[in-house]
């Protein structure tokens, strides 16, 4: 199979500096973060926003390469990108679906208006979810309103179900968690809540500890926290068995897997990178990256060029990219990477 056939998804960091929340763990928007200040000091730029011509060009090339999905912004809130509606238009034009991660606030429009734009063109709406209670959730997603996010999600599910009944097109709705010591005691209750309201999937990632203030929140921090996580995983699968969605199906659980004691240092050799050759990330300024590891860390993987001056196909065929694909298990960052998974 040629490289371009394997590439199925591209993430565009359309508007990383735009957000209406300050989640404690967020690389850019946490109140612990000095990222935006440093960005301004070093570049003189306050807000990086992808030019719409670049978005258009990427959609064009992606369509030719057979890419199936585009993700708008995994840093910042995608629904705040000024041309987000035009992205959904491009999705329709090129028949490339959108895969959305959003913070549940549905800014500037009603959920009903967003649903009309999003649901027909989107494979999966991941709503970032960090607790089963107001207290836990709002302590993590600073500035959020748990009850409002819950009401928004319930409305979205009703509208998604209506769209499915009318057209047969199914847009999955997912709770996207960040696994931390201050929210995972509620993991089983999150699974229960998901099932009760008809969320199709609960998935997440372990914490990237961007700041000293959150280092002790990683589930991988100590032997004790690893043991606790493994207990929460068991409880999550028990909740999955016990509580069904209104249609009688179980919510899917993904990436909710037991850890071993030494995971803080090295990931088992057999775990694979889920992204290389299959996905690419393009920053607001056009810089291409092979994955979504935190900005400062992924720079250590090399310079993969800029879509202002190179094509996606050229990046995939470049010696630096090919070398990473062949050799990533020996690269320091990849050895301890949270995102590597056992091959299913």
Contacts with ligand SAM by CB under 6 A lie at: 19, 23, 25-26, 74-77, 101-103, 128, 176, 178, 205, 207-208, 210
The residue range among 90-98, 162-170, 226-234, 271-279 that interacts with ligand SF4, by the rule CB under 6 A, is 271-279
Q: Which does 205 bind (CB under 5 to 8 A by kind): ligand SF4, ligand SAM, none?
A: ligand SAM
Per rule CB under 6 A, is residue 29 in the interface with ligand SF4? Answer: yes
CB of 18 to ligand SF4, least distance (A): 8
DSSP summary character for residue 81: S
Q: Which residue has the tokens 């735009």?
A: 18
Q: Contact 173/153 with Cβ under 8 angstroms?
A: yes
The two beta strands, 69-72 and 201-206, are unpaired
CB of 66 to ligand SF4, least distance (A): 22
- As separate numbers, helices (DSSP H) first and strands (DSSP E) second, the chain gives 13, 9
The residue range among 19-27, 52-60, 231-239, 255-263 that interacts with ligand SF4, by the rule CB under 6 A, is 19-27
Q: Contact 322/301 with Cβ under 8 angstroms?
A: no
Burial class (CB in 10 A: 0-12, 13-18, 19+), 260: exposed
Q: Which does 275 bind (CB under 5 to 8 A by kind): ligand SAM, ligand SF4, none?
A: ligand SF4
Per rule CB under 6 A, is residue 291 in the interface with ligand SF4? Answer: yes
Q: Which does 333 bind (CB under 5 to 8 A by kind): ligand SF4, ligand SAM, none?
A: ligand SF4
Q: Which among 15, 3, 106, 95 is positioned nearest to 54, based on CA atoms?
A: 15
Q: Which does 291 bind (CB under 5 to 8 A by kind): ligand SF4, ligand SAM, none?
A: ligand SF4
Q: Contact 294/278 with Cβ under 8 angstroms?
A: no
Residues 196-255 that bind ligand SF4 (CB under 6 A): none
Q: How many whole angstroms separate alpha carbon 203 and alpha carbon 129?
A: 10
Among 208, 232, 304, 328, binds ligand SF4 (CB under 6 A): 328
> Per-residue x/- marks for ligand SF4, 46-85, CB under 6 A?
-----------------------------xxx--------
CB of 329 to ligand SAM, least distance (A): 22
Q: Which among 208, 216, 203 is positioned nearest to 177, based on CA atoms?
A: 203
CB of 213 to ligand SAM, least distance (A): 12
For ligand SF4, which is the closer residue by CB, 118 or 195? 118
For ligand SAM, which is the closer residue by CB, 217 or 316? 217
Angle between helices 111-118 and 146-167 (to 10 degrees): 40
> Per-residue x/- marks for ligand SF4, 133-172, CB under 6 A?
--------x-------------------------------
97-102: strand order across its sheet = 252-254, 201-206, 172-179, 122-128, 97-102, 69-72, 9-12, 279-282, 288-289
The residue range among 214-222, 233-241, 288-296, 308-316 that interacts with ligand SF4, by the rule CB under 6 A, is 288-296
The residue range among 20-28, 188-196, 209-217, 229-237 that interacts with ligand SF4, by the rule CB under 6 A, is 20-28
Helix (H) or strand (E) holding 281: strand 279-282
Half-sphere exposure of 105 (CA within 13 A, CB side): 19
Helices assigned H by DSSP within the chain: 3-6, 35-43, 52-65, 84-94, 111-118, 134-140, 146-167, 187-197, 223-242, 295-298, 312-317, 319-327, 332-335
Among 19, 127, 190, 251, binds ligand SF4 (CB under 6 A): 19
Which residues sit at the interface with ligand SF4, rule CB under 6 A?
19, 21-23, 26, 29, 75-77, 103, 128, 141, 273, 275-276, 290-291, 293, 328, 333-334, 337, 339-340
């Amino acid at each position: 199979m040629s490289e371009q056939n394997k590439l199925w998804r591209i993430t565009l960091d359309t508007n990383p500096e735009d957000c209406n929340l300050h989640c404690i763990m967020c690389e850019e928007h946490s109140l612990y973060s000095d990222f935006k200040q440093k960005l301004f000091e070093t570049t003189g730029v306050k807000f990086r926003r992808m030019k719409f011509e670049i978005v258009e060009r990427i959609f064009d090339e992606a369509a030719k390469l057979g890419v199936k999905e585009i993700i708008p912004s995994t840093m910042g809130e995608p629904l705040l990108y000024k041309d987000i509606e035009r992205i959904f238009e491009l999705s329709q034009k090129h028949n490339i679906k959108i895969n959305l991660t959003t913070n549940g606030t549905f800014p500037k429009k009603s959920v009903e208006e967003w649903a009309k734009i999003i649901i027909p063109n989107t494979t999966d709406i991941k709503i970032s979810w960090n607790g089963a209670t107001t207290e836990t959730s709002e302590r993590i997603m600073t500035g959020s309103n748990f009850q409002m996010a819950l009401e928004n999600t319930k409305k979205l599910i009703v509208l998604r179900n209506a769209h499915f009944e009318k057209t047969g097109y199914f847009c999955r709705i997912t709770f996207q968690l960040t696994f931390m010591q201050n929210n995972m005691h509620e993991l089983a209750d999150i699974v229960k809540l998901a099932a009760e309201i008809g969320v199709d999937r609960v998935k997440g990632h372990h914490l990237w500890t961007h700041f000293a203030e959150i280092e002790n929140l990683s589930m991988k921090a100590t032997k004790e926290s690893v043991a606790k996580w493994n207990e929460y995983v068991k409880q999550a699968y028990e909740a999955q068995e016990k509580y069904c969605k209104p249609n009688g199906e179980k919510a899917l659980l993904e990436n909710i897997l037991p850890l071993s004691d030494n995971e803080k240092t090295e990931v088992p050799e057999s775990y694979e990178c889920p992204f290389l050759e299959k996905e690419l990330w393009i920053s607001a300024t056009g810089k291409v990256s092979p994955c979504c590891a935190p900005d400062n860390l992924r720079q250590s993987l090399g310079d993969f060029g800029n879509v202002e001056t190179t094509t996606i196909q050229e990046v995939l065929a470049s010696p630096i990219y090919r070398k990473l694909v062949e050799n990533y298990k020996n690269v320091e960052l990849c050895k301890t990477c949270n995102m590597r998974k056992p091959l299913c």
